[in-house]
Amino acid sequence: MRRLLIIATAFAFTGCSEGDARQKVPKGDGKGEAAAIAVTAIEVAPRAVPIAFEAVGRAEGSREVQVRARVTGILERQMYNEGDPVKAGAPLFRIERAPFEIELAQARGVLAQ
């Protein structure tokens, strides 16, 4: 037990020694002083800076409508440009007339008989 106390005391004294605190490690010019660090400064002044934001997004129309044809047929022409406003009842597409004229002529022939 006594031996353990002596060893513990010896470790305590070596741990409390100044050791490296007394040693001066030369830094910079070798005289024990730290080397000077170059510092630059700028003067701050208020000025106008343009503000611009770039973002990714998706736009939707204020109104959405569903366009359905009342009759079947081949589209000949689109009568509006994408993004243009259209009025209610305005024609949007032109459908091929020939099949309808043939059907009308047949109906008139049946009626005449």
Per residue in 31-76, pLDDT (tens digit) is: 556 778 888 898 899 999 889 989 999 888 777 777 788 888 899 9
Q: What is the pTM of this model?
A: 0.37
The 10s digit of each residue's pLDDT in 6-28 is: 766 766 666 555 555 555 555 55
Cβ pair 31, 24 in contact under 8 A: no
SS in 3 state form for 45-71?
A: CCCCCCCCCCCCCCCCCCCCCCCCCCC
Q: Which residues pair with 75 in a beta bridge?
A: 95
Q: Give burial (CB, 10 Å; 0-12/13-18/19+) of 20.
A: exposed
